Amino acid sequence: MKKVKVLAIAPYAGLALQIKNEAEKRNDIILECCIGDLKEGLSEARSRTEDDYDVIISRGGTASLLRENGFPVIDISISIYDLLRSIRLANGARKRYAIVGFESITRNASFLQDVLPSDMNIKVVTINKADEADLAIRDLKEEGIEIVICDQISTIAASRYRLNYILINSGSESIAAAFNEAAIIGKEKSRSRDLIALCNRIIESCPDIYLLMKNNEVVGNGVKAESISKGFMNVMKRRVSDMRIGDSSALEYDDNGLLYSADVKKFSIDDNEFATLYIKKTKLPFSLESNGIVLHNAHWAEIQYENSFFYLTNANAAEVNTITDYSKRSYPVFLYGERGTGKGNLAQLLYTISQSSSYPLYDIDMEIAGKKATELIKAMYSENPEKKAVFHLKNMNLTSNEVIKRIVDLNEELKIAKRAYMIATVTLEKGEKLPPACMYYIERLQCLTLRTRTLREHREDIQSMANLYLAILNRQNGTDIISIEEEGLKELEAYDWPGNNDQLARVLKKLNVETRGQIIKAEDVRKVISEEKKMTVENTECQGLGIDIEGKTMKEIERMIALHVLEEENGRKANTAKRLGLSRATLWRMLQDE
C-alpha cells in the first residue's frame, strides 16, 4: 500500500511530540514533523516543494496563515473535550480566567458558555490576527483576569504581561482525526498524480501534438508541444474553461495563416478538472480574419444569442420553433429577410442546438471573402475529406454569381454538405427578392429555407417586446421606467420600422436614456420616431444628388449612387471607391450588378 506523505507543522514542541506519538500508531502515513509558529511555520512550508509532501497538517493561527498563503492545510481542531480539560484546570486554580484565541478555538468556547452553569461566567475573546493578541491580553489583565486559556500565540503575550496561562492542547482524538482526513486527501492526490504520470508516458510516446491539462493548466505534453504558439494556448485555455465536464469539442484557431485544430475532451477525477487535447496544424493559403472569415465555437454563439434583443424579448418566437425543427436534421439551411429581423441570431441558435454544435464555426462574410471562401473550403476538404465544421455563409447575395456557382460545384465534387453543416443568410431590402444565384444555391443544395418576419408583420407584439426590453434596460442603466403612455404605444405600433427589431431596440434605448420620469410620454415617442424618419431613406430623392429612388431597393440605390460618383470622377474607379469608402473589388461588384 502506498503511504501518504504528511508534513506536520506544529506551533510548539509539545504538539510536535503528540503528533509523532500518534503517527507511530499508523502504517498508512510517512510523517515529517517540524516546529514553527506563524511566520516560522510558513517559512518551513515554503522551504519544501509539492513533491516533498501530499498533505500539510497544522493548528490554529499557523494553519490559518498557511491557508491564506495558498497552502492546502488540514487543521488539527480544538474539540469541546480539549477545551473542557483546560477549563477544568482553570477552575481548580480558583482564579478568574478567560479564553483567548482564533475563531477555530473560540467557536467551541462560545458553545460552552451557553451550556455550562451561569455561575462559571466564562469570558471569551476572539482574535483575527496575531498582532491582536497583545492588546487582548493587556485588556484582560486590566479587567482583573488572572489566568488565560489560550493557544500558542497568546501565551507569548501572557508571559509579557505576567499573566498565568493554560495552553490548550489538542487531544489524541483531534490529531487522529486530522491524520484520517490527511490519508483520504493524500490518496486522492496520489491517484491524480499517478494518472498524470501515466498520461504523460502515453503522450510522450506519440508522434503528434498532445496536451494534458489539469484545472486549466498544462501538466503534460508530447514531443512536439514546444511548437505551439502562445496565442493558441491562451485561446485554448479560455475555451476549455468554458466547456462543461463530459464535453467533447473540436476547437480551431487561426494563427496568421496557420490553422490549429484541437480535438478536446474534458473530464473530472476527484474534484479536479482534466482535458486532453489532440492538436493538428495546417498551413492555410491565407490568413482568415483579414479575409472576412472568423472562427468561433458554440459557447460564443450561445452567449451572442442569449444577449440578443430577439432572445430577450421573444421577438422571434415563431421562427425559433422552425429553427428547432431544422436543427434535428443535417440539411443545409438558408435564412433570408429584411435587415434587423434576426437572421444572424437565428443562425447562432441553429448552430448551438444542432448536432454539429461541437464542431468549429466558420463565420464567413461572403461580401469580403468572395473567392477566398471557396479556396478555404477546397483546401480544407482536399486535405481532410472527413473534417467536421459548420459554415455560416452570410451576405450570400453580395458575392458574385461565379463564387456561388463555385461553392455549389465544390459541394458536388467533395460532398461538403454531408460532412459540414451549411448555414447561409441573406439580407434583403423591402420588396426585394432573392437573386437568381441564391435560388440556384438553394435548389442545388436542397436547402431548408426560412424567411424572417418583419416587425410590420407582427405589430401586435410590439407592446410586450417594448415592456420586456425596458425592464432589461432598467437593470442595465439603473433607470426606473415602468411603462409607455397608451398613445406612445400606438405611435410605435403605427410606425413602418424599416430597420425592424434592430431599429426598435435602438429607439427603446434612446427613450430609456432620455426619459426623466417613470413614464415614457407619447410626445417623446413621436419626437424620436420623427428623427428616425429623417434618418431613413423615405424621401423620393437622394438629397443633393437628384436621384429618383421611388420604388427602388437599397441595392439599386447604392448602385445608382456609385454610378453618379463615378461620373463625377470622370470614370476613375480608384477615386470613386475612395470617396464612397469602399474597396475597389466591392465597387466593381456593385457596378456589375444590374
| Domain ranges for the chain | 4-76+173-187, 80-169, 284-453, 457-535, 541-592
CA 37/CA 23 separation, integer angstroms: 21
Q: Per this entry, what is the length of the chain?
A: 594
pLDDT the model gives residue 202: 62
pLDDT digits (tens, 9 = 90+) for 13-33: 888 999 999 999 999 999 999
CA 107/CA 99 separation, integer angstroms: 11
Looking at domain 541-592, its CATH architecture is Orthogonal Bundle (1.10)
For the domain made up of 4-76+173-187, give the CATH fold. Rossmann fold (3.40.50)
pLDDT the model gives residue 540: 39
Cα end-to-end span (Å), the chain: 82
User: In the sheet that 97-101 helps form, which strands lie side by side, from edge to edge?
Assistant: 123-126, 97-101, 147-150, 164-167
pLDDT the model gives residue 439: 96
Decide yes or no: CATH 3.40.50.300 for domain 80-169: no
How is residue 274 annotated by DSSP? E
For the domain made up of 284-453, give the CATH fold. Rossmann fold (3.40.50)
pLDDT digits (tens, 9 = 90+) for 492-538: 999 999 999 999 999 999 999 999 889 999 999 999 999 988 876 54
CA 359/CA 366 separation, integer angstroms: 21
pLDDT digits (tens, 9 = 90+) for 427-466: 998 888 999 999 999 999 999 999 999 999 999 999 999 9
CA 37/CA 59 separation, integer angstroms: 9
Q: What is the mean pLDDT of residues 238-251?
A: 86
DSSP 3-state assignment of 266? Answer: strand
Q: Record the cell numbers describing residue 489, joined without a space.
A: 404605444
Listed in sequence order, the DSSP H helices in 268-316 are: 298-306, 309-313
Decide yes or no: CATH 1.10.8.60 for domain 457-535: yes
Q: Which residues pair with 100 in a beta bridge?
A: 125, 150
Residue type, 56: I
Higher-confidence position of 554 and 551: 554
Residue type, 566: L
